[in-house]
Amino acid sequence: MKLAVVGCTGLVGSVILKVLNDFSIPISELILVASSKSVGKSIRFNNKEIIIESIEDALAKKPPIAIFSAGGELSRKWASTFAKNGTTVIDNSSAWRMEPNIPLIVPEINGSTLNKNDKIIANPNCSTIQMVLALKEIHQRFKIKRLVISTYQSVTGTGVAAVEQMMNERKGLNSVKVYPHKIDLNCFPHGGDFLEDGYTTEEVKLENETKKIFNDNNIKVTATVVRIPVIGGHSESVNVETQKEFHLDDIHNALKETKGIIIKDNNEEFDYPMPINVQEKNEVFVGRIRRDNTIKNGINLWIVADNLRKGAATNAVQIAEYLIDNKLVS
């Protein structure tokens, strides 16, 4: 099967290629697409040199699946064109996520809602993906009433230029500033753009996307996004209030039975998830599992994942895998 990766030279695009190499997806031709400055250059994949093509040339090849990871502007311009040409587009940008008729998919949670007519499929925001996967079984069994979320997000979520800013600051070098403040040896409560009510676009994504993925607009969500000087992944402190009562063992069992979740929760050994330990892993790690004693049905979780893997590339490739396995593309 032909598969295109649009934006193959970016941070997420390069990880998509690594994940494709890890998964056993039957690819007869991998079509690599990047900006005009990269067209004609080659990337090594599966012991072969593959020439980067223009998006127009990729469109003409009519791949059954195209994974877009080149920003919202390009997705808005080209995703519909590919879809009308018969390609199923899996889009990593925020362009389509909240469109009413576009599915927002984490395969382990709502992959079963997909059908052959879904020609544009949105990949959720990185912070949302890792959180909702950890909450999947908790919501199904005990019905989530309210979430209070604080995220501690890697600079890799902003892109290559943000990583370069941090590394240059670490070396004492001048560089282009992606952030309004120094990021090395610092953190700031700001992700995305500020809105009139004081929240940021990244915080609102957590609220809206959680409700859409769980198909439940009754969940109350409030979030604070913090950018921190790490590159390994995003961390989240999540306070969960449920409608139904539970025992702490019930929460452990719910997490154990969730595909893609690994529990690291041994306080005596100081064993809990950290960004430095989850980098380049596809799973979501959960620890510091404890009751919130200030409310009747409350639980605190610490959730960590590589935002470039499960938070972006891995989830996109898993969607492609689901489409192929369930014969939703041909």
Distance CA 162, CA 69 (A): 17
Annotation marks residue 234 as catalytic? yes
Distance CA 265, CA 251 (A): 12
Please count the other Cβ atoms lying within 10 Å of the Cβ belonging to residue 120: 21
Distance CA 310, CA 99 (A): 22
Q: From the candidates 126, 190, 247, 252, which is the catalytic residue? A: 126
Q: From the candidates 8, 187, 234, 252, which is the catalytic residue? A: 234
Please count the other Cβ atoms lying within 10 Å of the Cβ belonging to residue 248: 11
Annotation marks residue 190 as catalytic? no
Which string of b and e fits 167-186 if b means at least 16 CB within 10 Å? bebeeeeeeeebbeeebeee
Both tokens of 21, joined, read: 């190499």
Distance CA 237, CA 245 (A): 21
Active site residues: 126, 234
